[in-house]
Amino acid sequence: MDMPAIASSLFGREPPDPVVGEYCVLTAGYAADPEVRQKAASGGVTTALLTNLFETAAIDVAYCAAGLDPRGGEGRLVRSKDDLHAAMGSHYHPVNFGAALSALAAGDERFAFVGLPCEVAAMRQLMAHRADIAARCVVLIGLFCGGINRFSGIAAYLRHFDVATGDVAEIDYRDGFWPGGIRVVTRQGQERLVPRIMGNSRWSILRYVISFQGYWMLPRCRICPDQIADFADIAVGDPHLPRFKREASPGYSAIVARTEVGQRLLDRAIAAGAIQVEPLSRDELVLSQGYTLENRRQALVYVRVARWLGFDPPAIATYRGLSSLRTGHQTVYAFVDLVKIRYRHVRWLKPFYLPIQILEYLFLTLSPRLVLSRLKKLLSNK
């Protein structure tokens, strides 16, 4: 992943803001259709954009990951707005995203491409070598990404709620009010609802973090410089801010139009009433992504630590402006994140996952005020 090279090819320069990347418009928003807003991930903006593109005949097909079957999620060619419901939601487990890419490349349809930041960057590079594909691409929509998790990590979390993962037929990670819980449908048709963050106890939240953001994360996702889809025309993701996370929230999206194409299509969808928007500042966007964005941008720190730990990290180049923002704290985070993955297979460590996570939760920030606040939450289990 050569961030400066792709940025220079696309924008003619490295971004003036190396943390947020290049952008024309930055706002918050949500789908005007209340059903889409709640059922789709992160305010339903991606679904609303694609629906508007189909309605205005701007695209013939959309390429998206689709399918709630954990064993059958894949990249698909969606050919009408009525079929978009299969692509709504989030996938926190691996999917066969490339399943229909050959069909997309061989066709002649105008298309919208929806993918994670790494997938969008790959498509940009493919388009640089295939003028025929570039000519047919109407828009690239990038989804903010916190990383993909192994199935075994998801299974570890569901076992705490007595869900037999071998019996899971469907899994929806964003069910209900935003940011949603986990809805599982068994092969017998029974439904189970499992909380993630909202409505969960403090101890179970720690178990969620262990399972979804720790030992079972794919190593490549930990060594990634792009969380917020720098090379998309429009980037969309969760704005994790208190003003959006009120109880029973129907959902919001952070929206970043990075190119003139993205800005024009976003303006068109807003003018058509498909998307409603409200202000979101640059600093709010950064705050809404927490330490994850900071650590992802400092991927070279993760590369260095990965080598210390015996990994074979990928070749990565990051924006030059990020070097002045580097701190020792990022090395600490990199070490903690990568040690978990490196020693995941050590069986005697498993009973210590929760105590280790408690210590990390209390002390990794090295802030006495936060230690006391978090200790109170642990003791009250709220």
CA pair distance 287, 254, nearest whole angstrom: 12
CA pair distance 177, 138, nearest whole angstrom: 32
Residues 11 and 87 in one domain: yes
Average pLDDT of span 148-169? 89
CA pair distance 93, 325, nearest whole angstrom: 32
Residues 235 and 279 in one domain: yes
Residues 30 and 104 in one domain: yes
193-222 per-position pLDDT tens digit: 999 887 888 888 899 999 998 999 999 999
350-368 per-position pLDDT tens digit: 999 988 888 888 777 655 6
Average pLDDT of span 237-251? 85
CATH code of 31's domain: 3.40.640
User: Is pTM, for the whole model, over 0.85?
Assistant: yes
Residues 242 and 334 in one domain: no
- Which of these three, 290, 318, 342, is where a domain ends? 290
Q: What residue numbers bound the domain in which 21 lies?
A: 3-148+221-290
CA pair distance 263, 25, nearest whole angstrom: 7
The sign of the dihedral angle between the CA atoms of 106, 108, 114, 116 is positive
For residue 255 the two structure tokens come to 């929206």
62-95 per-position pLDDT tens digit: 999 988 777 778 999 999 999 988 788 788 888 9
The sign of the dihedral angle between the CA atoms of 238, 217, 230, 235 is negative
Residues 373 and 255 in one domain: no
Nearest to 359 by CA among 214, 208, 206, 160: 206
> What was the pLDDT predicted at 375?
77
Residues 128 and 166 in one domain: no
Pick 198 or 285 by higher pLDDT.
Answer: 285
Residues 138 and 233 in one domain: yes
Residues 207 and 245 in one domain: no
- Which of these three, 188, 213, 238, is where a domain ends? 213
Q: Is the distance from CB of 96 to CB of 75 less than 8 angstroms?
A: yes
> What was the pLDDT predicted at 366?
57
As a whole number of Å, the CA-based R_g of the chain is: 20
286-336 per-position pLDDT tens digit: 999 988 999 999 999 999 999 999 999 999 999 999 999 999 889 999 999
Tally Cβ neighbours within 10 Å of residue 308: 13
* Number of domain units in the chain: 3
Average pLDDT of span 14-30? 97
CA pair distance 78, 314, nearest whole angstrom: 32
Average pLDDT of span 338-361? 91
Nearest to 46 by CA among 196, 316, 358, 254: 254
Q: Is the distance from CB of 106 to CB of 100 less than 8 angstroms?
A: no
Distances (CA, A) of 185 to 31, 42, 188, 224, 268: 26, 22, 8, 32, 38
Count CA within 13 A, CB hemisphere, residue 152.
8
Which residues, in sequence order, are CB contacts of 113 under 8 Å at separation 6+?
62, 63, 120, 123, 137, 139, 140, 141
258 pLDDT more than 70: yes
Residues 191 and 121 in one domain: no
Q: Name the burial class of residue 131, with classes exposed (0-12), middle (13-18) and buried (19+) by CB atoms within 10 angstroms of its CB.
A: exposed
For residue 222 the two structure tokens come to 């930990």
Element holding 78 (H helix, E strand):
strand 74-78
What type of residue sits at position 305? Answer: V
Residues 144 and 186 in one domain: no
Residues 138 and 172 in one domain: no
- Which of these three, 241, 257, 290, is where a domain ends? 290
96-110 per-position pLDDT tens digit: 999 999 999 999 999
Residues 104 and 227 in one domain: yes
Chain CA centroid to CA 161, Å: 25
277 pLDDT more than 90: yes
State yes or no: cis peptide before 4, omega within 30 of 0: no
